[in-house]
Chains A and B, each alone.
Chain A
Amino acid sequence: MNGIIIGQYVPGDGFFYKVDPRSKIAAIFFLMIATFLLRDIYQVLGALIITLGLLAIGKISLIKVLKGLKPIFILLIFTFVFQILINRQGNILVDTNLSFTIFNILLVIIAFVIWRFLAKYKKYNFLLLLAFLIGSILIFINVNFDFAYNYQLTSFNLQIYEKGIEMSIFVVLRLLIIITLSTILTLTTKPTDLTQGLESLLSPLKKVGFNSEDFALIISISLRYIPTIFDEANKIMQAQASRGADFSEGKLKDKLKQVISLLIPMFIIAFMRSEELADAMESRNFVPGKARTRIHILNYSYRDVLVTAFTVIFFVVALLFRLNVLGY
């Protein structure tokens, strides 16, 4: 439970730290739409280079952004493979038959065992995984004993097309751009600024009955209490563990019972806490919906003009590409 960090904000003083959160949120929103307007791999590649340029301007280290990619790494690989297999346009590049016989399945199992044995070299974990995957595909393609033909279980015709590779790279690049953009926003903006910016951007919705101030308050309070709740869950777990309900031991039925022993106190404590918080806010004269002054007042500066101008240019260019006004 330890080590859960809400928000990725890392204090710093790059260019984007000083940009007003409102223009940052709006800019990221429109840049993302613009990215989806692009239809061509070269355009997306250009957009990626521009995005990396933004990182350089903001003095944000690429490593931090790559770390942010970690959780969606599987998703990226999945999209990549899926696109390659599904798309059947353009020239055919690879056309082989994957045959699954008892013998090459055995070989793959042996390869798997060797891979697991090597897994203790954590440094090369990723390379080993790659080697294993490629190796097993090669085994399925190449190892085809004639005598084993009768033992064939099933076969699969692997066809990779030019367009498939192009599209898969295109989709992955597009995802990379979007994630990099959102990482720039979350790395350089405090959660409080983020909610304040959101509140300000959503304030026109007041006319249709949506109170953006309450919305922002709800978000910021929930963000602030997530670590507290985790802390409390930890304490409850320890209190129950000292009564013999160890969450890491026991049968499934016991574990279910133990989850109940965690959930009930958590709910009760959360309700107690929210009631106390409401009282504390009220005793400091907080009235929902009433106008309040702020400690930090958002201010636009020349940086916001730059960011907005960049966003408009980027968006318009993307739109022109989409409408085939610009082309090659």
Chain B
Amino acid sequence: MGIRFNEVSHKYSSFSNVNTSAIYQVSLAIDAKDEFIALVGHTGSGKTTLAKHMNALIFPTAGNVEIFGKTITKKRNKDIKYNEIRQKVGLVFQFPEYQLFEETVLKDVMFGPLNFHIDKKEAERLAIDAIKLVGLDESYLNRNPYNLSGGEKKRASIAGILAMDPEILVLDEPTSGLDPAGKRVLMELFLDIYKTTNKTIIIITHDMDLVYEYFSRVVVMNEGKLVYDGTPEKLFKEHDLSKNHLDYPNTVKVLSHLNKTLNLNLNIYQKTAIDAIKEIEKAGKL
């Protein structure tokens, strides 16, 4: 078992008197291998808080999180080496600006491995591999990370985590702020990493099109509570997404609209636009 949440609640200490939990009694189990999970929910639903629990950056205020056999509770435990957990579960933050600080991309990507006492040469090799893996070529190695474009910064920060060779990879909105083509390239990259290494990858996203196209398991958060855990298809079929402040994928929206207006009987559950077109062609209407 990789990560298991046992009725985890987390309340941020706030100055106001509003008593809201960022997450409330969340129970969730994630395998150490072979999972490709989308974590979706409206802004403020507790996705990022949940992600931060996954590598013990914050501790639950109630319940506990088991990460690779180590139980994380409210109190800091001296017997647990938190750095080891963070090496096993790599978390990429939403904004790369929070992470990049060295004067070159290579040095920045090496920062993680060096913190885990990996030999310098080995760290450099890992870093170069990671940088190439995220699609930046060698010309980037000696560039200043702050002079890169938004998408390139994002890639550099992802490389910084990949270089640590984590067993589970958690990405907080890796595709936000990217152009549509860049989004797809990055998603293909994650899918590729997943397929070649069988690492568990958890991706926080808003984009339901991407969720439907790429993921086999989707976890939905709403107002701090876990409301759904299963396949995307079942989610779209059986749940009212508007209740969770979410949107249906475009394929489902278009096909169900066609069904309604043209009185057709199309199968609306098509993962990609191409699948949707094929379905419409099958009905002979194009």
Contacts and interface: CB of A to CB of B under 8 A. Distances in A.
B101 A260 contact: yes
B91 interface: yes
A243 B97 contact: no
B145 to A, nearest CB: 10
A3 interface: yes
Interface stretch (A104-112, A203-211, A232-240): A232-240
Contacts, number: 65
Contacts of A242: 55, 57, 86, 90-91, 93, 161
B69 to A, nearest CB: 19
B101 A264 contact: yes
Interface in A1-42: 2-3, 5
Contacts of A268: 97, 146
Interface residues of A, number: 24
A235 B90 contact: no
A236 B91 contact: no
Interface string A225-250: 00000001001101111111110010
Contacts of B99: 236, 239-240, 243, 265
Nearest to B51: A242
Residue of B87, B97, B100 contacting most chain A CB atoms (<10 Å)? B97
Contacts of A256: none
B86 A239 contact: no
Contacts of B86: 241-244, 246
A236 B90 contact: no
Contacts of B55: 242
A236 B99 CA distance: 6
A182 interface: no
Chain B interface residue number, banded: 20 to 34
Contacts of A277: none
Interface in A232-285: 232, 235-236, 238-246, 249, 254, 260-261, 264-265, 268-269, 272
Contacts of B83: 244, 246, 249
B101 A243 contact: no
Contact of A243 (B12, B13, B15, B115): B115
A243 B115 CA distance: 7
B112 interface: yes
Given A243-B112, A244-B83, A244-B86, A265 B91 contact: no
A243 B160 contact: yes
Contacts of B115: 243-245, 254
B21 to A, nearest CB: 16
A142 B15 CA distance: 51
A235 B12 CA distance: 14
Contact of A239 (B13, B93, B164): B93
Contacts of A272: 97
A275 B98 CA distance: 17
Contacts of A2: 12-13
A261 B55 CA distance: 19
A275 to B, nearest CB: 13
Contacts of B97: 265, 268-269, 272
Nearest to A233: B98
Interface in B86-121: 86-87, 90-91, 93, 95, 97-101, 111-112, 115-116
Interface string B6-30: 0000001101000000000000000
A268 to B, nearest CB: 6
Contacts of A269: 97-98
Nearest to B118: A244
A243 B164 contact: yes
Contact of B98 (A3, A239, A246): A239
B248 interface: no
Interface in B43-100: 52, 55, 57-58, 82-83, 86-87, 90-91, 93, 95, 97-100
Contact of A244 (B13, B98, B101, B164): B164
Contacts of B146: 268
A235 B93 contact: yes
Nearest to A4: B15
Contact of B52 (A238, A243, A261): A238
B176 to A, nearest CB: 16
Given A238-B57, A243-B161, A265 B112 contact: no
B112 A244 contact: yes
Nearest to A268: B146
Given A5-B15, A244-B86, A235 B101 contact: no
Nearest to A243: B112
Contacts of A245: 111, 115
3 tightest A-B CB contacts, nearest first: A244-B115, A264-B101, A243-B112
Given A239-B99, A265-B99, A268-B146, 17 more contacts: A236-B99, A238-B52, A238-B93, A239-B93, A241-B82, A241-B86, A242-B93, A243-B86, A243-B111, A243-B160, A244-B86, A244-B87, A244-B112, A244-B115, A245-B111, A249-B82, A272-B97
Interface of A: 2-3, 5, 232, 235-236, 238-246, 249, 254, 260-261, 264-265, 268-269, 272
14 contacts: A232-B98, A236-B99, A238-B57, A239-B93, A240-B99, A241-B57, A242-B91, A242-B93, A242-B161, A243-B112, A243-B161, A245-B111, A249-B83, A265-B97
